[in-house]
C-alpha cells in the first residue's frame, strides 16, 4: 500500500488537516493517510501542547468512519524529541510491505534544511508538499522524489483554534463535530 505519513502535533486536529488528508487520498493515489501524532517537535515550543493521549483521542474521533485514515501513536514509542528521519526509518523497518510518502507543508519545505538529517530524508524518501499561505515554493530544482501538490489551501492553524477556544468563541465549523463536542464537554 501507498501510505501518506502526516506527522504533526494535531494540537488539536482541525478541518484543514482532515480536508487536506482527504484530498491526498482521493487525488494523489495514496491508499491511506496515517496521522502520526508527534509527542514533541524539536523545532516547536512545547508550551500549550495538549497531552499526547488527548491529541491522539481527538484524531481518532475526527477520522472515525473513513477507512483511508489511520490514527497513529507510533512516535510515542520512539525517543524524544521526535525526529522525522527516525520515524521514517522505523516505519520502513516495521512495515516493509508499504511504500511511505512524507506529507509536509510548504512552510516546512522552506525550512527543510533545518531538519535533522534532511539530506538523508530527501535521498531515501518520497515527499508530498502541500501549499501553505505565504510560503511559495520555487519549482526550479525540486528533486524528482518531491511532488508539489495542487491541493486547496487552508488558512486554519491549531494555534488559531486554541486561542478561539480559550476566548470561548464558537468555532464549531473549524473542527470535526465529534472533536468540538469532546472539547466542549471535557475541557472548556
**DSSP codes joined into one string, 103-151:** EEEHHHHHTGGGSTTHHHHHHH-EEEEE--TT-----TT--TTEEE--P
Instruction: Name the percent of the chain lying above pLDDT 70.
Output: 96
| pLDDT tens by residue, 103-116 | 999 999 999 999 99
Other beta carbons within 10 angstroms of residue 62's beta carbon come to 27
Compute φ and ψ for 94, nearest 5 degrees: -75, -30
Contacts of residue 162, Cβ cutoff 8 Å, sequence gap at least 6: 11, 12, 48
| pLDDT tens by residue, 114-132 | 999 999 999 999 999 999 9
Domain ranges of the chain: 2-155
| pLDDT tens by residue, 1-28 | 999 999 999 999 999 999 999 999 999 9
pLDDT of residue 122: 97
Rounded CA-CA distance 164/101 in Å is: 33
Class of domain 2-155: alpha beta
Amino acid at each position: 500500500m501507498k501510505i501518506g505519513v502526516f506527522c504533526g502535533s494535531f494540537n488539536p486536529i482541525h478541518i484543514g488537516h482532515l480536508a487536506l488528508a482527504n484530498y491526498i487520498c482521493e487525488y494523489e493515489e495514496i491508499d491511506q493517510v496515517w496521522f502520526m501524532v508527534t509527542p514533541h517537535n524539536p523545532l516547536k515550543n512545547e508550551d500549550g501542547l495538549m497531552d499526547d493521549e488527548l491529541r491522539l483521542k481527538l484524531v481518532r474521533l475526527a477520522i472515525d468512519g473513513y477507512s483511508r485514515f489511520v490514527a497513529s501513536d507510533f512516535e510515542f514509542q520512539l525517543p524524544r524529541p521526535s525526529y522525522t528521519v527516525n520515524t521514517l526509518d522505523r516505519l520502513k523497518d516495521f512495515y516493509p510491505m508499504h511504500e511511505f510518502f512524507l506529507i509536509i507543508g510548504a512552510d516546512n519545505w522552506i525550512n527543510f534544511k533545518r531538519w535533522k538529517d534532511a539530506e538523508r530524508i530527501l535521498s531515501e524518501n518520497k515527499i508530498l508538499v502541500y501549499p501553505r499561505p505565504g510560503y511559495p515554493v520555487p519549482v526550479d530544482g525540486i528533486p524528482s522524489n518531491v511532488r508539489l501538490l495542487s491541493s486547496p489551501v487552508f488558512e486554519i492553524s491549531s494555534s488559531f483554534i486554541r486561542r478561539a477556544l480559550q476566548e470561548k468563541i464558537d468555532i464549531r465549523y473549524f473542527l470535526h463535530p465529534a472533536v468540538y463536542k469532546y472539547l466542549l464537554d471535557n475541557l472548556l
